Chain A
Amino acid sequence: MKASAFSYARATSVGDAIALLAAHGESAKVLSGGQSLMPAMNLRLLAPELIVDIGALDELRGIARHESFLSIGALTRHVDLQNAPDIAAHAPLLKEAIAHVAHPAIRNRGTIGGSLAHADPASELPACMIALNAAIVVRGPAGERRIPAEEFFVGIYETVLSSDELLVAVEVPFPPSNSAHYFREFARRQGDYAIVGLAAQAVVENQRLIDFRPVFFGLADKPVQVTAAAMLVSKDVTPKVLSDALQALGAELDPPEDQQASGAMRRQYAKVLLARCVAALLSRSDLSTWGTA
């Protein structure tokens, strides 16, 4: 189908965009790369009265390296993240995850800010932001605020952004030098939304996980951090320790059923992913009877 009629405004500055959003409230939608918004509008799931196109705001584009963190502008495209040396060096988890986001033609238009503000529970980047302990920078009429990624996502397509606020950047802290990361997802076809996926960032010392931030996606209405992960931190992970953690993981999850997978299947996939993740992070192939890939 085709999008229903709407008015269109090309924002000339961040201030201009915020003023438009403040004036039109819930009836306006921000257009960034459009790779989630346009499908929703073409399917008539969304019919905003006003589109505020921020595509010309070059100040929101690009990756800046600071002393201890990367600042990634909201309009930075997936393909830019994929190719940026600073992302490869300081946020390799993100580089790995981007390859799973849709297809090349989508990655040439889709932006990090758009993906995060859209907050699809099956998408990769929200989970990565939480695993990386990133801050989401938003600006509104009252000024700028920084929201920890783990507090940003509320539910399906829902964030703490209010209708007059614009997501302008994310700040991703550099991981410590002894960090390791893991990213995998199960999808039926290359580029599809994941049935279940896992993004994890960890600090490994003396064969132990000192810090461990596994974040699942596709398991609930927003990215999921699990308490069972704490059972694997700062101790020697024996097969028994791991299997206890997996059992606890299975008990705390209540995944949804849909046309792709049953809840039980998702729970099993989550256990497989966590086992493979721990085995990979600790380089211990003995830990996972399901392999380490």
Chain B
Amino acid sequence: MTAPLPISLEVNGERVDAHVLPRTNLADFLREHLKLTGTHVGCEHGVCGACTLRVNGDIVRSCLMLAVQANGASVETIEGLSDSGEISDLQAAFRERNALQCGYCTPAMLITAQDLLKSEAEPGREMIREHLSGNYCRCTGYQAIVDAVEATAKARKGRGR
């Protein structure tokens, strides 16, 4: 049973069929098998948040989920969110506010911020900080990230989105 197992899932809207070892986590499957390297791997025990992506619409840690557990699921990575234009305004705000430096945490930071912005039209800075508290950034000191998320929320509210 340690042999590769068949899985079938949807990744960024495309059906994927593959064989994976049980020990392969979802982050490594996306990076190594599908070459979707926007999902980053940091601590590999669920603390740093760099591997955050969406499974069936919910944000999850892809280092704490086995690829075999994603069988039948719909997975969305930063490549999907970026290509669809869903977060183009948020990405622009990150650039404008210098909310990234090395960029390692940025894909997951964007996905986590978007998760908040989808459910809260007008999150306060405290709420933004709380929602992002599981995503570590070692460059920015977070201030600019909170600025970018807050600015995006305000802009979207103004556009009625």
A contact residues vs B (CB 8 Å cutoff): 1-10, 31, 34-35, 38-39, 42-43, 50-51, 53, 55, 79, 102-106, 108-109, 189-191
Contacts and interface: CB of A to CB of B under 8 A. Distances in A.
Contacts of A43: 45
A191 to B, nearest CB: 5
A39 B115 contact: no
- What is the predominant secondary structure among interface residues of chain B facing chain A? mixed
Given A34-B64, A35-B61, 16 more contacts: A2-B25, A2-B44, A6-B22, A8-B22, A34-B65, A34-B66, A35-B46, A38-B65, A38-B66, A39-B47, A39-B64, A79-B58, A104-B131, A105-B60, A106-B61, A106-B64
B30 to A, nearest CB: 14
A189 B23 contact: no
Given A3-B23, A38-B63, A55-B69, A50 B1 contact: yes
A108 B58 contact: yes
B21 interface: yes
Nearest to A109: B60
A9 B22 CA distance: 9
Given A5-B23, A55-B69, A105 B1 contact: no
B25 A5 contact: no
A105 B25 contact: no
A4 B23 CA distance: 7
Contacts of A2: 23, 25, 28, 44
B22 A51 contact: yes
A191 B46 contact: no
Contacts of A108: 58-60
B64 A35 contact: yes
Given A79-B58, A190-B130, A42 B45 contact: yes
B127 to A, nearest CB: 11
B133 interface: yes
19 contacts: A2-B28, A2-B44, A6-B23, A8-B22, A31-B66, A34-B69, A39-B64, A53-B68, A102-B134, A103-B49, A103-B135, A104-B112, A104-B115, A104-B131, A104-B134, A105-B49, A106-B64, A190-B133, A191-B134
